[in-house]
Amino acid sequence: MDAPAQMRRPDEVGVPDPMPLMHPVLRKNYGAWAWHDRPRPGVLHHVAKGGDEVWTVRAGTQRQMDVYTIRTLCDIADRFAEGHVRFTTRSNIEFMLSAESKVQPLIDELGRHGFPVGGTGNSVSMISHTQGWLHCDIPGTDASGVVKNLMDMMHHEFTHEEMPNRVRITTSCCQINCGGQGDISINVQYTKPPKINHDLVNKVCERPAVVARCPVAAIRPAMVNGVPSLEVDEKKCVCCGACYPPCPPMQINSAESTKIAVWVGGKHSNARSKPTFHKLVVANLPNNAPHWPEVSEVVRTILSAYKEHGRHYERMGEWIDRIGWPRFFELTRFAFTKHHLDTWTGARKTMNMSAHVHF
């Protein structure tokens, strides 16, 4: 503070160049790969146009890693995988090997340290998730804990390729949904309007910005107990929580009313069908730390129905497109309610405007 002259100016280097960090076989064959196959779950085998081959072993991590875990992974990479790794967008770690003979010893070593090998092809890959109670300022639930429970439950499905197609699961600790779209998405769903601490609103919130943030215009300025504050039209409020980040005195979370909803059929890829958003299946599940058993049960039910009835290469949403939503709700035994009927902008386009029905 008292010696600003000594402050170091940042070197605005931006995105680091991956080339010096990249496995030499990858660097040598950059842009020149020919084909690949998967010798076993968790292992990819890529062949370059010039004939070079590389084996990749993919393992699950806990994403939030202590330096000891990272150093263990580095030790493994140094001893068995030529000192290079990369991470996937779902926080799996990948070890690249220039000889097939090194694959099994690496898998054995990862197993000794408790890192599951899998997440390739038609498996359930690692859940992409958010921060939750560990670090977020607005979370309705934890992230790492929910994910730990689910991945324990789905360990077999991570290490085996037995699903009709890949399954990408996400979790999010609030309705902003930082976890993103997924074949199955497990997201906090608030069920009550915010509880307002009127003593604080005027001190910490920029009121016009909060009013503007509300997607249904349910917030208006008001004088409460003689101080400027905000009030919520609770009949209009959709309990989305959008007012809470810019105005923490509008508390959206509570131990009772913060619930969890499960959605299905989101898809990022353009393969076969176009990308899709996930759709609501079940809401109002309790936020039941530390094991969230009700959430696990719903996910297990959806996964097993998909595993049993999906055809090879159908993603979750494509399977449901084929069998229809009536059959989906029949197979999974979840209730179809008025809350499944969209009411947002463009809702009519989500309705069945045809005489096509499933029986």
Partner 1 sequence: MSQDESKSAPDGPHPTPLLDQLEGGKWPSFVTGLKRLRDTQGAQYAPMMNDLLGQLEHSYENRAGYWKGGTVSVFGYGGGVIPRFSEVAAKFPASKEFHTLRVQPPAGFHYDTATLRKLCDIWERHGSGLIAFHGQSGDIMFQGCTTENVQKAFDELNEIGFDLGGAGPALRTSMSCVGHARCEMSCYDEARAHRSVINEFLDEMHRPALPYKFKFKFSGCGNDCVNAIHRADFAVIGTWRDDMKVNQDEVRKYVAKAGRKYTIDTVIAMCPTRALSLNDDDTLSVDNKSCVRCMHCINVMNKALSPGDDRGASILVGGKRSLKVGDLMGTMLVPFMKLDTDEDFDRLVALARRMIDFFAENALEHERIGETMDRIGLPSFLEALEIEPDPNMVLHPRTSSYVRTDDFTEESEKYFERKARENGLDVAAE
Alpha-carbon distance of 294 to 186, in angstroms, equals 12
C-beta closer to partner 1: residue 123 or 128: 128
| Site map 255..294 versus partner 1, x via CB under 8 A | x--x-------x-xxxxxxxx-x---------x-xxx---
β-sheet bridge partners, residue 197: none
Tell which positions 3-22 bind partner 1, by CB under 8 A: 4, 7-22
Tell which positions 222-241 bind partner 1, by CB under 8 A: 240
List 53, 69, 211, 350, residue binding partner 1 (CB under 8 A): 69
Pairing of the two strands 93-97 and 258-264: unpaired
How many residues sit close enough to partner 1 to count as binding (CB under 8 A)? Answer: 119
Tell which positions 168-207 bind partner 1, by CB under 8 A: 175-181
C-beta closer to partner 1: residue 5 or 355: 5
* Strand (E) or helix (H) holding 299: helix 293-309
CA angle, residues 176, 127, 263, in degrees to nearest 5: 55
DSSP 222-240: EEETTEEEEEE-TTT----
Tell which positions 314-343 bind partner 1, by CB under 8 A: none
Helix (H, G, I), strand (E, B) or coil at 40: strand
Alpha-carbon distance of 71 to 76, in angstroms, equals 8
55 lines the binding site for partner 1 (CB under 8 A): no
C-beta closer to partner 1: residue 215 or 326: 215
Q: Which range of residues in 90-98, 226-234, 295-303, 324-332 is near partner 1 by CB under 8 A?
A: 90-98
β-sheet bridge partners, residue 43: 40, 57
C-beta closer to partner 1: residue 28 or 326: 28
C-beta closer to partner 1: residue 33 or 330: 33
C-beta closer to partner 1: residue 210 or 282: 210
30 lines the binding site for partner 1 (CB under 8 A): yes
Tell which positions 115-144 bind partner 1, by CB under 8 A: 115-116, 128-142, 144
| H helical segments located in 193-288 | 198-204, 207-213
Residue the block writes with tokens 């309990």: 239
Q: Which range of residues in 100-108, 149-157, 195-203, 328-336 is near partner 1 by CB under 8 A?
A: 149-157
DSSP state of 13: -
Q: Residue 105's CB: how many other CB atoms inside 10 A?
A: 13
